[in-house]
Structure 1
Amino acid sequence: MNTRRLQWLLFAWFFVFPFLPLPPYWITIGNYIGLYAIVALGLVLLTGIGGLTSFGQAAFVGLGAYTTAYLSGVLGVSPWLGLPAGLLVSGLSAALIGSVTVRLSGHFLPLATIAWGLSLYYLFGTLEFLGKYDGLSGIPPLALFGLDLSAPEAMYGLIWLCLGGCLWLVLNLLDSRSGRAIRALASGRTMPEAMGVDTAQYKILIFVLAALMASLSGWLYAHLQRSVSATPFGLNMGIEYLFMAVVGGIGQVWGAILGAAVMTGLKSQLQDWLPRLFGSQGNFELVVFGVMIVLLLLWARQGLWPWLAGAWARWQPPAPLPLAPASAPAGYAGLARRSKPAPGSLLLDVDAARKAFGGLLAVKDMSFALRAGDVVGLIGPNGAGKSTMFNLLSGVLPPSGGAIRFCGERIDGLGARRIMELGIGRSFQHVHLLAQRSVLENVALGAHRRGHAGPLAAALHLERHEEARLLHLAAEQIRRCGLAEHMYTPAGSLALGQQRIVEIARALCSDPLLLLLDEPAAGLRLQEKQALAGLIRQLKAEGMAVLLVEHDMDFVMDLTDRLVVMEFGSKLAEGLPEVVRNDAAVLAAYLGGIE
């Protein structure tokens, strides 16, 4: 949908805001909307996109505020030096806290953020040199080239300029190779690691980025208020920041501004009008405010921004698509490719591999080999251990015994990311795609390790040439797999069979030597199966080895060079398809008996 005009209209409105004939109080409200939106933007990146829930962002606001307050108000250092100092303190603290916190999952992660948020809050209130709960006052105002920025109108411009800069950096970051890796974090660890994404590194990255934005807000807050105390940096404010992100649209960058504006404006108006209606006794505004937020979320569960953008799109022309380069980018000489092994050379050697889950042996002393250019089928009844075997080969699970060698190097015990780098690509039995993102973006994720630009280059928009190369490569694989007309379609809207083909295209983007396909023909129609078989034969002709798990016996028998049959975690038979087809043990165990 075409929301770009709506986005900039929203932002332009807030820049025009201070020039309107409004009471000074509204300028103050606008200042706080900007401050809160900076923190909410970090939470959109951390929680809405990265999937890491945090209730402790207010503590990082406090770190930024107290650092500049102490340096400028107590030590007499320039207020402008308080900004990098606050960012440094907050960044190092976030890196230290995040290295422990982001390893947690489920409800343990938000509980941990509550714990360290409370710890920092009580630290602010008990340290003598920070003024305990009385805080620090006498913070000097900001001045730039002799211009005094102490007036609310002047601070308004600085606050919204900082917010605009943060928006630009975050939007650039998300529209890049690093952004695809960040979006993949919410889907869990298995798929991103199999695509070469260092999930631990990217989780810490977004944790630190959210903390840095909160620290920037704290620096601006301290010089706007000219005093700081512990109260605004407690758990209640941390929850309120998260509410702002949720109300605006937890996964929407522009929802951070909308959520901050709605929450701040609504709270201000309730505090003004409710005492007139119900008297000054009791905090009625908190009750009414809570009820209104619940009703709002029931009415727009994805937040206000998706609802507003949907309404806007009904009378706006469609947005131009973010097209992949139709031809190779200027200076494109092709991304580096792996050298293919000699046809028939040993590629994968599985020697007595086993996997135990407690007392259950899911894989028991499995041994088989693949050579360059082989297409091998791994078949067996449900529960035979085929998917577990795939997970051992791709590094999702560590083996309990035996040895697995790839190109002569032992890979048993290596992680999924390292195994992918060596040249093993895979699809999944249960599709793992970014449902709301386009097919092009999903497939480009498979080329993650073929790019080198880091998050800083992405945020500063300096990796466009490399990004064009990666998107061009992804588009080539999409066309190769027969999905050209769906290149810009959200992957989640495709049929299941087409989603499986998207996974194959994504795996091919990593330039694998061995491709592991887990039930690739499930959900495909006859013509689609024939096209898939043609693609696999083409890959075989190029020297790629393919190991596939499949229950469609006609598809497997016509396509594979050799079959390996599993039953109860062990190898039941191995050989040419026509030999395995007539094996009495296989017929009894898997193909339905002699009848």
Structure 2
Amino acid sequence: MTAERKHTLWLAVVAALAAAVPLATDNDFHLRVLFLIGVNYIAAAGMNVLVGYTGQKSLGHAGLFAVGAYTVALLTARWGWNPWPAFVAAGVMAGIFGVVIALPALRVKGPALAMVTIGFGIVVEKIVSEWQDVFAGQQGIYGVLPLSLGGTMFSSKQWVWFVLLLGVALHVMLRLLLRGRFGRAFMAVNTAEVAAESVGISVYRFKVLAFVISAVTCGLAGALIAQQNQYINSDFITFNLSIFILLMVLFGGHSVYGPLLGAVVLTLLDSFLSRWPGVQHFTYGALLLFALYAMPDGLAGFVRQMARKWAPGLLPAEALPAQLAPWRLRSGTGAETMLLEAQGLYKAYGGVVPTNEVDLSIRAGHVHSLIGPNGAGKTTLLNILSGIVPPDRGSIRFEGRDVTGLAPHRIARAGLGRTFQNLKLFAGMSVLDNVKLGLHAHIPTGFLGSLLGRGGHAERAARDEALQILDWLGLKDKAQEIAGSLPYGVQRRLELARALATHPRLLLLDEPAAGLNPQETQELAQVILRIRDLGITVLLIEHHMDLVMAVSDHVIVLDYGQKIAEGAPAQVQNDPRVIAAYLGADDGTQEEEEEDEEGGAHVQ
């Protein structure tokens, strides 16, 4: 039985058992607790995308809960809407508010983001408390129309079954979304934003999307509370609610199942402690600290760890195809064209000028090396070309198109891939998923298609191509290992595999031999030549001169941010200005230049 069929079977069993529970009791309190578990899960499931997958902390989602609750209250009690369209409108309105908040809020990170969202929650709380004419404050809005079937309002049992149905549908859709290209992109944003941009992922766009998903589910949760109570007032909208929603996600753990575990445990605990509010609030704080520091993987992580230890058959590894066709680049560029041209690139940080009026011409089909002493500005130049650092002035044309100042993800999608001097892998993800992230821009499945499970064929094609790339680099046997657990040299090669998966026409390699032993460096030289033979142009930064001279068709030399020489490797190797830059000689002294030339001095 496949993993998907096992999941479907277990989901059906759990849903059937949950649906049978209301049949065993007529106790309204027990039914209310079951209903609240479902509502809290719906709120936490979307929040999990924002917090658990994208890594953004929000402490103001009570405000979005309020948007949904008051939308459905005003539409039904004041303006006479049918409760079903009003319920849908509540989710839409919360999503709109999510966009409005996310656009400015997500330009900050960490504690600053938390403070912005706290501010939003406080503002909403004050508005619904003080704007009596519209929101009625503590008096509240009565006569909110509940959901109904055939003109008959839902009973307590029907409310439980409805939130169960809604929760199952939400779980299935989010699981499909998070197991595909969108889930990988969310986790990439969480792990390494610069690396995510380098494979064509718009970090800001995915942060906004995650915020909107969490806003919609919180809005729907608020609408459910208002319609089931047929009443809403400002007492529902407190900072404690924001803490509770966040706590369900953190305590439940990073998994699509985490919010369910958190909702079940914390809703039951909340109901038990409701008669002692002081103890209740102390417990929230203690659990939040516990979740953050003592159990960072949450309940889901603990359950997963126990399952791997005692029942490994429940978590089988994905079956991978044994035979694959050789990997082929999807497009190449003619060897006689000028691929990239940069003119007058200048970048200054105060009095430090790492890039000073640099002109650059990269011919397709060649290996170009960028060399120079430490601090010469090589990495800054690569960062400018790849969009990570905008130039103060100058222009860059890639395949005839002006790409000056474009966002890194747009430059990556245009065909410029790169690796980094300091490794930027998605360390907590598998080797296979790291390479799939390189293919992100080439997987055609959109958001709605992923939600509805229509991306299966594209995902399988991406898996197979990722395996082909790994096989091309001799890493296929590492496909299901965690990237961060690999030896350093293998991690270097994995980062190269991820860059190749973007199907670049120009590949920027920033010191790919750093930290490699001599044998690995020799193997790297052969890999670079094979990459060139695929039709990929290479711009290489490297301090290993043996490697540079072995693979380069053209060498460019920087010193103090300025280009001081370029040409064929042998020509540059014996250039007096290059020797002076590396050895510290005074290239203005003719006698020293002549001695160097007579002694056959060259850059080693």
In the superposition, the TM-score normalised over structure 1's length comes to: 0.90
Alignment pair present for 1:117 and 2:117: no
Instruction: Give the distance between the partners of 1:589 and 1:375, measured in 2 at CA.
Output: 23
Q: Offset of 1:136 from its aligned partner?
A: 1.3
* 1:536 paired to 2:528: yes
- Equivalent-residue separation in structure 2 for 1:232 and 1:424 (angstroms): 51
**Residue pair 2:251, 2:287 contacting (<8 A) in 1 also:** no
What is the match of residue 272 of structure 2?
A: 269
* Structural mapping, 1:10-29, within 5 Å: 14-20=18-24, 24-29=28-33
Looking at structure 1, the residues matched to 250 and 537 of structure 2 have their Cα atoms a distance apart, in angstroms, of 47
Q: CA deviation at 1:457?
A: 0.8
Name the CA shift for 1:16/1:532 in 2 (closer, same or farther; >3 Å): farther
Any conservation in 2 of the 1:172–1:460 contact (CA below 8 Å)?
A: yes
In structure 2, distance between residues paired with 1:239 and 1:109: 15
Q: Work out whether residues 14 and 30 of structure 1, in 8 Å CA contact, stay in contact via their aligned partners in 2.
A: no
2: CA distance between counterparts of 1:225 and 1:100?
34
Task: Supply the AA of the counterpart residue of 1:507.
Answer: A
Secondary structure of the residue aligned to 1:536 is helix
Whole-angstrom CA distance in 2 between matches of 1:14 and 1:30: 9
| Superposed displacement of residue 441, structure 1 | 1.3
Name the structure 2 match of 1:279.
none
SS of aligned partner of 2:557: strand
Change in 2 beyond 3 A, CA 1:491/1:20:
farther
**Contact 1:325–1:468 under 8 Å retained in 2:** no
Moved more, 554-563 or 167-176: 554-563
Describe the SS at the equivalent of 1:384: coil
- Please state how far the C-alpha of 1:385 moved relative to its aligned partner: 0.8
How far the C-alpha of 1:571 sits from its partner, in A, is: 2.0
Is 1:519 aligned with 2:499? no
Q: Which residue of 1 aligns with 2:597?
A: none
Aligned pair count reads: 580
Q: Which has the larger displacement, 575-584 or 90-99?
A: 575-584
Q: Render the CA deviation track for 1:315-365: whole Å, top value 9, x for unaligned.
A: 112423335555679xxxx99933x33223322223332211122211112
Q: Do residues 386 (structure 1) and 389 (structure 2) align?
A: no
In 2, Cα distance between the equivalents of 1:201 and 1:292?
32
The one-character-per-residue Cα deviations of 1:462-483 (angstroms, maximum 9, x if unpaired) are 1222222222222211111111
Counterpart among 256, 259, 264 of residue 256 in structure 1: 259
Equivalents in 1 of 2:466, 2:393: separation in Å?
37
**Is 1:322 equivalent to 2:301 in the alignment?**
no
Q: Quick check: 1:128 aligned with 2:127?
A: no
Question: Runs of 5+ in structure 1 lacking a partner?
Answer: 276-281
Tell me: CA distance 1:320–1:113, structure 2 relative to 1, closer, same or farther (3 Å): same
CA contact (8 A) 2:53 2:183 kept: no
C-alpha distance in structure 1 between counterparts of 2:284 and 2:393, whole Å: 59
Identical counterparts, % of pairs? 34
Work out whether residues 384 and 391 of structure 2, in 8 Å CA contact, stay in contact via their aligned partners in 1.
yes
Q: CA-to-partner distance for each residue in 1:467-508, whole Å, 9 max, x for gaps?
A: 222222222111111110111112121122222212211111
Give, in whole Å, the separation in 2 of the partners of 1:401 and 1:138. 63
5 Å-filtered alignment, 1:477-488, equals 477-488=469-480
- Counterparts in 2 of 1:53 and 1:321: CA distance versus 1, 3 Å: same
Question: What secondary structure sits across from 1:413 in the alignment?
Answer: coil
Cα offset for 1:394?
0.8
| Mapping of residues 43-62 of structure 1, within 5 Å | 43-62=47-66
Counterpart in the other structure of 2:589:
none
Residue 320 of structure 1 aligns to a residue whose secondary structure is coil
- Deviations 1:100-120 (CA, angstroms, capped at 9, x unpaired): 222223322211111122222
CA RMSD of aligned residues (A): 2.8
| Structure 2 spans left out of the alignment, 5+ residues | 586-600
Aligned to 2:138, the other structure's residue is in SS state: helix
The equivalences for 1:72-91 within 5 A come to 72-91=76-95
- How do 1:434-453 and structure 2 match up within 5 A? 434-453=426-445
The reply to whether residue 236 of structure 1 matches residue 207 of structure 2 is no
**Residue 210 of structure 1: how far off its partner (Å):** 0.8
Query: Are residues 501 and 22 of structure 1, via their aligned partners in 2, closer, same or farther at CA, if it must alter by over 3 Å?
Result: farther
Q: Is the 8 A contact 1:498 1:524 kept in 2?
A: no
Partner of 2:110: helix, strand, or coil? coil
Residues 21, 507 of structure 1: alpha-carbon distance in 2 compared, 3 angstrom cutoff: same
Query: In structure 1, what is the equivalent of residue 588 of structure 2?
Result: none
1:409, distance to aligned residue in structure 2 (A)? 2.8
Match of 1:278 in 2: none
Q: What is the rounded CA distance, in whole Å, between the counterparts of 2:184 and 2:287 in structure 1?
A: 35
Give the TM-score of the pair, scaled to structure 2.
0.89
What residue number does 2:330 align with? 337
